[in-house]
């Protein structure tokens, strides 16, 4: 037998557990447990605990981690019981591997517990009952894509977490809580039609009803011993069940009784090969290099993974072409969000942005400060630094406390304008809008910047004379707030055209899906685009609005808000319909952005 040792880590809402495993998945030596820091839990604190505690368990060759949230390729997407806004986008797998100098695999904790509990026959499900509720699902030993049922409504408007988590147990008492668990199992039996259900987690032993033969309570150690299965795509298959938990199991059926014996049967090699974790190396024989894209969660045109083009552009994009409107969202641990805010976006970083740029044959980009960061422009500035001055410029958000020295530093970093976001903040009062516009123009005039305004046509019309009197350019986002359904005759659109015609204002024909409801092409914006271009083709720029953030429902602003799932290839492919000549497209994509942003 190989002498390799696997460090297994089970991160929970109240405790972080550790054990060393041999190659068969049996625990060797003493286990360790360290309390989880109070919520919200900083990623750096968890990494430090793992680093410090692992040194006490002796040498190890690799690390398996169960994490309480949605994980894709080792990167955290959600962490409701630790603090999603701090964890979203954090690459726990990469950071632990760097700190421990060992290969690391990170997976959802219920999935890892399932690996430790399952028999490998038929449809098997795991329901964990701890700080929150978790699930995993297997078919003949093969894990199925993780479903974060913890966030799904269970009873009325309450989620699995809210109904079955530890807080619910404390509030309702064991008897009432047990009835909820029993009813939940009935629901899962109908929805999943499982052959066997395993109840895990610290509260599983507190259920107060008789379990049928196809339901088994399994020990917490499954969340550690299941870690060995994360390496089965490269290793010889170990035993399904390690010896060390035989004494704690409750064998409700003959098959389970045999399985809990002193020596567990070996997993057939075919089954072990099938049971692969979510993070795995690229398959042999791939013809295209590069990292594998994570699976995408889509619901009603939404995604928690930054979208990438799916349609070929279909025309020659000129060198120097610019996407004049994108946002960058980093990991919240590095770039904290403002409070309050209108939504909490999934991560969408510079690497994903570069993929978008290359896919669309674009050479330049303008990063616009999003509302969720308030006046902290650190994430936008970091994006500019990483992309470099040849490719990137930016638009910042400032307030009265922003000093002149800070503005000069931002200018040196590539900022070329400030954004006055009246739409997201709900400002429609012309007097307030007029004052905000005048204050911004006064601050940026010495730097030669412009003022970018996101608002609606009624406000554009009210600000017409003010814009005409300004000495700085004004840029209106997203068709100036015009809606395709209203056509070119809608109120306020004539005022926008007049500003463009005069040369006093630019308009971004960007975020077309914000002006239309006709997915996926949203091509009914064409009359608006053509009218704007006809008014003055020297004052029109184009942008994607990637990664297409979406405003949260009231009361859910601090939860991860899936973005719109937009095909930016299809969006750019429409430009020739709006601007039929190559010369006009060159102005919109190259000349006008170069003039406005100083490329």
Tokens of 21: 């495993």
- Indicate whether 359 and 219 sit together in one domain: no
426: left (phi over 0), alpha (psi -120 to 50) or beta: left
Q: Give me the pLDDT at residue 77, please.
A: 85
What residues are paired with 129 via a beta bridge?
Answer: 133
Cα distances (Å, whole numbers) of residue 271 to 137, 142, 143, 144, 547 = 15, 7, 11, 14, 39
Give the whole-angstrom CA distance, residue 502 versus residue 341: 36
Assess contact for 54 and 227: CB atoms under 8 A: no
Give the whole-angstrom CA distance, residue 195 versus residue 182: 17
Q: Give me the pLDDT at residue 535, please.
A: 97
**Residue 144 forms part of a structural domain:** yes
| DSSP states along 494-535 | HHHHHHHHHTSEEEEEE-GGGS---TTT-GGGHHHHHHHHHH
Element (H, E) at 184: helix 174-192
- Indicate whether 91 and 154 sit together in one domain: no
Quickly count helices (H) and strands (E) in the chain: 22, 24
Q: Maximum distance among all alpha carbons in the chain? A: 86
Assess contact for 273 and 232: CB atoms under 8 A: yes
- Indicate whether 85 and 131 sit together in one domain: no
**Residue 270 forms part of a structural domain:** no
**Residue 314 forms part of a structural domain:** no
- Indicate whether 139 and 227 sit together in one domain: yes
Give the whole-angstrom CA distance, residue 311 versus residue 161: 39
Orientation angle between helical segments 404-413 and 378-387, nearest 10 degrees: 30
**Residue 255 forms part of a structural domain:** no
- Indicate whether 457 and 576 sit together in one domain: yes
Q: Give me the pLDDT at residue 341, please.
A: 92
- Rounded to 5°, the CA angle 66-67-71 comes to 110
- β-strand 6-11 against 15-21: which pairing, if any? antiparallel
Cα distances (Å, whole numbers) of residue 44 to 49, 69, 81, 86, 98 = 9, 17, 16, 10, 13
- Rounded to 5°, the CA angle 403-408-410 comes to 95
Give the whole-angstrom CA distance, residue 1 versus residue 266: 14
Instruction: Return the CATH number at 553.
Output: 3.20.20.140
- Indicate whether 99 and 187 sit together in one domain: no
Please list, in sequence order, all residues whose beta carbon lies within 8 angstroms of the beta carbon of residue 494, skipping any fewer than 6 positions away. none
- Indicate whether 100 and 127 sit together in one domain: no
Core vs surface per residue 182-205: b (16+ CB within 10 A) or e: eebbeebeeeeebebbbbbbbbbe
- Indicate whether 21 and 127 sit together in one domain: no
Give the whole-angstrom CA distance, residue 100 versus residue 106: 14
Question: Cα dihedral sign for 277, 278, 281, 282?
Answer: positive
- Indicate whether 218 and 353 sit together in one domain: no
Four-CA torsion 356, 551, 149, 220, nearest 10 degrees: 80
Count Cβ atoms below 10 Å from residue 450 Cβ, excluding itself: 24
Tokens of 14: 């109240």
Q: Give me the pLDDT at residue 295, please.
A: 34
Number of domains in the chain: 3
Question: Which of the 8 DSSP states describes residue 542?
Answer: E
Q: 188: cis peptide before it, omega within 30°? A: no
**Residue 122 forms part of a structural domain:** yes
Query: Domain end: 231, 254, 284, which one?
Result: 231
Mind listing the pLDDT tens digit of every residue in the chain (599 residues)?
A: 457 899 999 999 889 999 999 988 999 999 999 999 988 888 989 999 999 999 888 899 999 999 998 898 899 888 888 887 788 888 999 999 999 999 999 999 999 999 999 999 999 999 999 888 889 999 999 998 877 777 778 887 788 888 988 888 999 899 999 999 999 999 999 999 999 999 988 899 999 888 999 999 999 899 999 999 998 744 433 333 333 333 333 333 333 333 333 333 333 333 333 333 333 333 333 333 333 333 333 333 788 889 999 999 999 999 999 999 999 999 888 899 998 899 999 999 999 999 999 999 999 999 999 999 999 999 999 999 999 999 999 999 999 999 999 999 999 999 999 999 776 555 567 788 889 999 999 999 999 999 999 999 999 999 999 999 999 999 999 999 999 999 999 999 999 999 999 999 999 999 999 999 999 999 999 999 999 999 999 999 999 999 999 999 888 888 889 999 999 999 999 999 999 999 999 999 999 999 999 99
Tokens of 438: 């005048």
Query: Domain end: 185, 201, 231, which one?
Result: 231
**Residue 240 forms part of a structural domain:** no
Give the whole-angstrom CA distance, residue 92 versus residue 49: 13
Give the whole-angstrom CA distance, residue 82 versus residue 339: 18
Expressed as residue numbers, the domain containing 158 is 112-231
**Residue 27 forms part of a structural domain:** yes
**Residue 244 forms part of a structural domain:** no
Orientation angle between helical segments 350-359 and 378-387, nearest 10 degrees: 50
- Rounded to 5°, the CA angle 64-70-72 comes to 65
Q: Give me the pLDDT at residue 149, please.
A: 77
Q: 28: cis peptide before it, omega within 30°? A: no
- Indicate whether 73 and 136 sit together in one domain: no
53 phi/psi in degrees, rounded to 5: -70, -35
| DSSP states along 235-274 | S---BSS-GGGGGG----SHHHHHHTSSSPPBPPHHHHHH
Assess contact for 88 and 344: CB atoms under 8 A: yes
- Indicate whether 404 and 547 sit together in one domain: yes
Q: Give me the pLDDT at residue 527, please.
A: 97
What residues are paired with 159 via a beta bridge?
Answer: 153
Scan for tokens 């406000």, then name that residue.
459
Please list, in sequence order, all residues whose beta carbon lies within 8 angstroms of the beta carbon of residue 190, skipping any fewer than 6 positions away. none
- Indicate whether 104 and 169 sit together in one domain: no
Count Cβ atoms below 10 Å from residue 520 Cβ, excluding itself: 14
Q: Could you say which of 22, 23, 545, 568 is catalytic? A: 545
Query: Model's pTM, two decimal places?
Result: 0.61
What three-state secondary structure class fits 194? Answer: coil
Instruction: Return the CATH number at 69.
Output: 3.30.420.40
182 phi/psi in degrees, rounded to 5: -65, -40
Strands, DSSP E only, in 422-523? 450-454, 474-476, 505-510
498 is catalytic: no
Give the whole-angstrom CA distance, residue 547 versus residue 353: 8
Cα distances (Å, whole numbers) of residue 335 to 42, 88, 395, 425 = 13, 11, 17, 21
Cα distances (Å, whole numbers) of residue 168 to 4, 104, 172, 178, 202 = 41, 34, 6, 11, 14
Query: Domain end: 66, 88, 108, which one?
Result: 108
């Amino acid at each position: 037998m190989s002498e390799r040792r696997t460090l297994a880590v089970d991160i929970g809402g109240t405790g972080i557990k550790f054990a060393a495993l041999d190659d068969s998945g049996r625990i060797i030596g003493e286990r360790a447990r360290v309390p989880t820091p109070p919520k919200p839990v900083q990623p750096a604190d968890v990494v430090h605990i793992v680093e410090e505690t692992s040194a006490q368990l002796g040498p190890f060759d690799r690390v398996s981690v169960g994490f309480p949230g949605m994980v894709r390729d080792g990167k955290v997407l959600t962490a409701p019981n630790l603090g999603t806004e701090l964890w979203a986008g954090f690459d726990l797998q990469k950071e632990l591997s760097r700190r421990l100098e060992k290969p690391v695999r990170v997976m959802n904790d219920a999935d890892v517990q399932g690996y430790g509990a399952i028999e490998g026959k038929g449809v098997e499900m795991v329901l964990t009952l701890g700080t929150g509720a978790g699930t995993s699902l297997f078919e003949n030993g093969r894990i199925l894509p993780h479903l974060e049922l913890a966030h799904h409504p269970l009873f009325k408007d309450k989620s699995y977490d809210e109904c079955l988590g530890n807080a619910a147990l404390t509030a309702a008492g064991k008897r009432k809580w047990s009835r909820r668990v029993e009813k939940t199992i009935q629901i899962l039996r109908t929805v999943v039609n499982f052959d066997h259900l395993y109840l895990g987690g610290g509260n599983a032993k507190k259920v107060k009803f008789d379990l049928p033969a196809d339901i088994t309570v399994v020990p917490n150690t499954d969340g550690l011993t299941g870690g060995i299965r994360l390496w089965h795509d490269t290793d010889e298959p170990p035993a399904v069940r390690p010896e060390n938990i035989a004494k704690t199991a409750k064998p409700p059926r003959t098959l389970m009784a045999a399985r809990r014996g002193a020596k567990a049967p070996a997993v057939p090699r075919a089954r072990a090969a099938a049971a692969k974790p979510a993070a795995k190396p690229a398959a042999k024989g791939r013809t295209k290099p590069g990292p594998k894209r994570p699976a995408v969660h889509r619901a009603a045109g939404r995604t928690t993974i930054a979208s990438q083009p799916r349609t070929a552009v279909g025309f020659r994009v000129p060198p120097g072409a610019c996407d004049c409107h994108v946002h960058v969202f980093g990991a919240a641990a590095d770039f904290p969000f403002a409070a309050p805010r209108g939504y909490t976006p999934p991560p969408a970083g510079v690497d994903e942005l570069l993929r978008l740029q290359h896919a669309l044959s674009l050479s330049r980009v303008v990063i616009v400060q999003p509302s969720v960061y308030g006046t902290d422009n650190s994430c936008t500035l970091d994006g500019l630094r990483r992309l470099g001055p040849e490719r990137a410029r930016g638009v910042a958000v400032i307030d009265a406390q922003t000093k002149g020295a800070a503005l000069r530093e931002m200018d040196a970093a590539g900022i070329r304008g400030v954004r006055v976001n009246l739409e997201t903040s709900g400002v429609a009062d012309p007097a307030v809008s007029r004052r905000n516009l005048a204050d911004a123009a006064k601050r940026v005039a010495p730097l030669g910047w412009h003022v970018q305004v996101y608002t609606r046509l009624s406000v554009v019309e009210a600000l017409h004379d003010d814009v005409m009197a300004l000495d700085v350019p004004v840029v209106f986002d997203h068709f100036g707030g015009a809606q395709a359904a209203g056509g070119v005759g809608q109120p306020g659109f004539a005022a926008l055209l007049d500003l463009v015609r005069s040369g006093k204002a630019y308009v971004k024909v960007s975020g077309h899906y914000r002006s239309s409801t006709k997915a996926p092409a949203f091509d009914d914006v064409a009359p608006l685009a053509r009218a704007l271009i006809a008014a003055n083709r020297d004052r029109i720029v184009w942008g994607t609005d990637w990664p297409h953030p979406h405003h949260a429902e009231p009361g859910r602003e601090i939860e991860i808000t899936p973005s719109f799932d937009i095909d930016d290839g299809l969006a750019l492919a429409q430009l020739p319909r709006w601007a039929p000549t190559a010369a006009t497209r060159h102005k919109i994509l190259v000349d006008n952005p170069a003039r406005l942003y100083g490329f």
